[in-house]
Chains A and B, each alone.
Chain A
Amino acid sequence: MNVITGLFPPTGGTIRLGDRDITGLPSHKIAARGLGRTFQITRGFEQLSVLENLLVPALAVKTSNRKEVEKKAAEIMDFLLIDHLEDELSVNLSGGQQKLLELGRVLMLDPDIIVLDEPFAGVHPELRGDLHDHIDDLYEAGKTFLIISHDMESIFKLCERVIVFDQGKKLIEGSPDRVREDEAVLEAYLGD
């Protein structure tokens, strides 16, 4: 994930986004080309308000003007159900709200592909349900998701194609039903 999003330099191979080669591009260029990501431990701007957090990514979208950006930020806050937190400093949000805000920052870039790193870890079950709904809605709207998670319940609920890794090696790839019943997966996750 870090290589795909430009945080680590690649040691080999090629990364393509659609028909464009993005191998070795810096993170900001990859973000501007439509690949957004979140982190397991959120990387927010703690001393900025929720609204300000959403306005910062606007710099990557060169054609946008201030009014358009603010309108988009308002729509995203409304969609993520965090509009009542608009003026709250991000440092004061709960872990789940921080995750929603991070998704909001990514949505400001209007990416085609959204990479989520452990989006459900440490999130209150109620907010986790909200997060499922948001991902479903965005998927219906045409966004592609790559989700990395240990929360198998969420993965099986949301994903059409699942790849399981164990100790850095691919165990299996297939539909949720196939993965759910695979013995190697059960062993890797439940132990002997």
Chain B
Amino acid sequence: MISGQSLASLLLSAIVRAGLYTLTATGLSLIFGVMNVPNFAHGELYMIGAYIAVFCFAGLNLPPLVAILLAAIGGFIIGAMIEKSFFYPLRQRSKRRKIWIMNTFLVTVGLSLLLKNVIQAIAGTKYRGIDSYWQGGLEVAGISISVDRLVGVAIAAVVILAFWLFLQKTTIGKAIRATAQNETGAKVVGIDLNNIHTLTFALSSMLASIAGASLLSLNPAYPTMGLMPLFSSWFVVILVGLGNIAAIPVGALIISLIETFSAYSVGSGWQRLFSLGLIIIILLFKPRGLFGSDVKGVWER
């Protein structure tokens, strides 16, 4: 029987994890929704964010928020460079959508390997972590919560809210959503898809980098650290429906609760068995995911 204190502690861990998955899965879903790119290099942007933050915070002694901000900017720039260097030229030559999805899948797998090896060549294979960004913690009803965890959750919440407002309220945000809903319709009303694609990839990469940077004290930087967040983010995206960004926080909470409680109950080696099992069952009955896909293109183009 699980004690109340352990339950609360597990719930807190699940919420922190959900914040991380929301940040990474939102970017993944956006890239797939707008560009139809199944991005398997997304975890590497998370990893790059962690490395930039550890370099800025531990190496240059910059304040934590500055380190996280620089990781966000770094993720944005690297994401834009990746889009312009790999996907833009590929898009000029790909005319058939099915070939485009397969080609971009292979490109992202290659990119993932490339980025991991480049980082390994630069920084080696050692874990590069920090004890904490902020000292101390709070104690609520006998449960101790580190400030790092609290700030990590707060950063995730603020960034996701800001990003949601950007998509809903700004003209560029509306253009990104319009492109996801009807690419041809967007083109003929004057939207430059090349700019929208670059911006989408850069913003998504930025979200992943923020996740890697803000949870550095919990997850130290190492070259292959992006694999597990990548898998879990795909679980979230598939669970809620491909391209359905609004439902990502709910899916992230479901997956993180399953993973946290199954890791506690039967061991961490089994946690993904349960989340994957749930996804398989849901997809059998709801092939478009729990909340359906907003991306018309994925199913009907």
Q: Count contacts on A: residues with CB < 8 A to the other chain.
A: 33
Structural contact, B190 and A45, CB atoms closer than 8 A: no
CB of B56 within 8 A of chain A? no
Bound-complex Cα distance A58 to B175 (A): 9
Interface contact A59-B171, CB-CB below 8 Å = yes
Q: Mark B55-81, 1 if CB is under 8 A from A, else 0.
A: 000000000000000000000000000
How far in angstroms is the closest Cβ of chain B from A88? Answer: 15
In the complex, which residues 256-299 of chain B have their Cβ closer than 8 Å to any Cβ of chain A? 294, 296
Contact status of A48 and B188, CB under 8 A, knowing A55-B171, A59-B172: no
Of A14-22, A25-33, A126-134, the one contacting chain B is A25-33
**A44–B182 contact, CB under 8 A?**
yes
In the assembled complex, A113 has its CB within 8 A of some CB on chain B: no
Q: Mark A107-133, 1 if CB is under 8 A from B, else 0.
A: 011000000000000000000000000
**A36 shortest CB reach to chain B, Å:** 7
A43→B182 contact, CB < 8 A: yes
A57 at the interface (CB under 8 A from B): yes
Chain B interface main SS type: helix
A42 to B188, CA, bound (A): 12
Query: Which B residues are CB-close (under 8 A) to A27?
Result: 184, 187-188
Please indicate the chain B residues that have their CB under 8 angstroms from the CB of A31 in the complex: 187-190
- The answer to whether B174 touches A43 (Cβ under 8 A) is no
Among A46, A47, A52, A109, the residue within 8 A (CB) of B189 is A109
- Are the C-beta atoms of A28 and B174 separated by less than 8 Å? no
- A59 and B181 CA atoms in complex are apart in Å by 17
Given that A45-B182, A47-B294, A48-B181 are contacting pairs, would A60 and B189 also be in contact in the complex, using a CB cutoff of 8 Å?
A: yes
Q: Provide the bound-state CA to CA distance between A59 and B199, in Å.
A: 14
| A43 and B184 within 8 A (CB) | yes
Q: Which residues from A are CB-within-8-Å of B186?
A: 45, 56
Nearest CB in chain A: distance from B125 CB, A: 45
Among A31, A45, A48, A108, the one with the most B-chain Cβ atoms within 10 Å of its Cβ is A45
Question: In chain A between 1 and 15, which residues have their CB closer than 8 angstroms to a CB of chain B?
Answer: 5-7
Instruction: Judge whether A163 is part of the interface by a CB distance below 8 angstroms.
Output: no
B187 to chain A, nearest CB (A): 4
Which residues on the B side are within 8 Å of A26 (C-beta)? 187, 192
Is A28 within 8 A of B191, CB to CB?
A: yes
Q: CB distance A48 to B178 under 8 Å?
A: yes
For residue A105, CB closer than 8 A to chain B, the reply is yes
The residue in chain B whose Cβ has the minimal distance to the Cβ of A43 is B185
Q: Are B190 and A109 in contact (CB under 8 A)?
A: yes
Most interface-central of A44, A47, A48, A66 (chain B CB within 10 A): A47
CA distance A28 to B178 in the complex (A): 14
On chain A, the residues within 8 Å of B17 by CB distance are none
A-B contact pairs, 6 of them (CB 8 A): A31-B189, A31-B190, A32-B190, A45-B181, A56-B191, A106-B189
Given A28-B191, A43-B185, list of 11 further CB < 8 A pairs?
A26-B187, A31-B187, A31-B190, A36-B189, A37-B188, A42-B185, A47-B177, A53-B178, A60-B189, A66-B171, A69-B171
